[in-house]
Structure 1
Amino acid sequence: MGNNYDRALQWANDKKRRGDIKNPAVVGAVLYLGYCCDFLDTRYINLLASYFKMMEERHKMLGKILPQNKDLSYDRHKDKILRHLDCAVIEFMHAEIYDQIKADMTAGRFSQLKIFDSTRGVFTEGGPAFAGAGLFEKSHIQICIRNPNVIQGFFMPRKEVDFVRRMEVQELPKTMKTTW
């Protein structure tokens, strides 16, 4: 959830309302994304699209139906919040890369492929922030850590200080006041 404590807590409270969790909370983490499959970068979107085609062909050959992204019944914005297809394609890509690396190593070959440490993507969600906006109320970046070694540490986040209000309340010493 990035640096947005309030949005992270809102997400956790939504999960509680759906019965997915009992005690909503927010924990912070310091991350080094390492080798990141970054869906904010066109090359990784194109990479994922190629794995989607491979997955789609495999499903057709096996007579299987692809998972679908779905709306939550109460989501008035129809954001396809349940991203079953997206998740399946991403997991398929990671599994295929791992299997190919393993096959290369077993055959004594050098692999051109590398296992991703993390995955990052942006998700637009919620209604427009204001009339005519291209920004949405609940847009966020999601990060999936695949290699736990890139987690540098955890912390309990604190609520942000209203710095401007704090500065207005404090009285500056007379020696520090300046007139322009």
Structure 2
Amino acid sequence: MQSGYKLSPLVGYHGCDKAVAEKVLSGQAHLNHSENEYDWLGDGIYFWVDSYERALEWANKGNNKTPYVVGAFIDPGFCLNLTDYGVTSELKTAYQFLKETYAQIGEDLPTNAVMQHGKPMTRKLDCAVIKAAHQLRQDAGEPSFDTVYGVFEEGDVLYPGSALKEHTHVQMAVRNQQSIIGYFRPEQLISSTP
């Protein structure tokens, strides 16, 4: 089943503490994989695609003593691209597998929750389905996805009647560390927004 495709290399930004950033930039450490049950793209190192500002905003919201941003050049490799219509059948199969598994053990499926502006912000179900898709590929001896790429609609509408949201963003979860070509120290970008 071919549902992942090779995307062009891209630039990602990761918000973190400056002490972590300095270790990563000096080659002493790598960024850690996130493995929370609510990580909407499943496990991986999360990057904001082409958005230094969102990464910095994220770093400022966290428990970081000195919020900072690490830039990365990323080769997505074999990518579970959630913007590609071709992945829908694989995700539906993973959902069905997950649903049957939870029914067999007599537990409820995880749910997407914490609604904001009509969109679920905590995506435990989506995370579980993506993890199930990875597991099914592994069980079938199929190649693993190196990365997962998706668009997340978030925030208020930009203006009355708009379908555009204030905080819509593109994120990538890097599962295979080899997909990170290299890290860099981004120059602070000057935003034109007030």
The 5 Å alignment of 1:1-180 reads 1-16=48-63, 21-71=64-114, 75=116, 77-101=117-141, 113-160=142-189
SS at structure 2 position matched to 1:49: helix
Contact persistence 2:97–2:132 (CA under 8 A): no
Q: Distance in 2 between matches of 1:22 and 1:47?
A: 41
Give deviations 1:78-132, integer Å, cap 9, x for gaps: 532111111111111102211221xxxxxxxxxxx22111111111001111111
Q: Distance in 2 between matches of 1:62 and 1:159?
A: 50
| TM-score, scaled relative to structure 1 | 0.73
**Using a 3 Å threshold, how does the CA distance of structure 1 residues 140 and 162 change in structure 2: closer, same or farther?**
closer
Runs of 4+ aligned residues of structure 1 deviating over 6 Å after TM superposition are: none
Give how far 1:158 is off.
Answer: 1.1
Structure 1 or 2: larger helix share? 1
**Using a 3 Å threshold, how does the CA distance of structure 1 residues 162 and 58 change in structure 2: closer, same or farther?**
closer
Paired letter, 1:15: G
Contact persistence 1:48–1:93 (CA under 8 A): yes
Q: Distance in 2 between matches of 1:12 and 1:81?
A: 18
Contact persistence 1:71–1:78 (CA under 8 A): no
Q: Percentage identity across aligned positions?
A: 34
RMSD between aligned residues: 2.0
**Using a 3 Å threshold, how does the CA distance of structure 1 residues 83 and 24 change in structure 2: closer, same or farther?**
farther
Q: Distance in 2 between matches of 1:126 and 1:46?
A: 29
Paired letter, 2:106: G
SS at structure 2 position matched to 1:27: strand
Residue aligning to 1:170: none
Name which one, 1 or 2, has greater alpha-carbon Rg: 1
Gaps of at least 5 residues in structure 1 are 102-112, 164-180
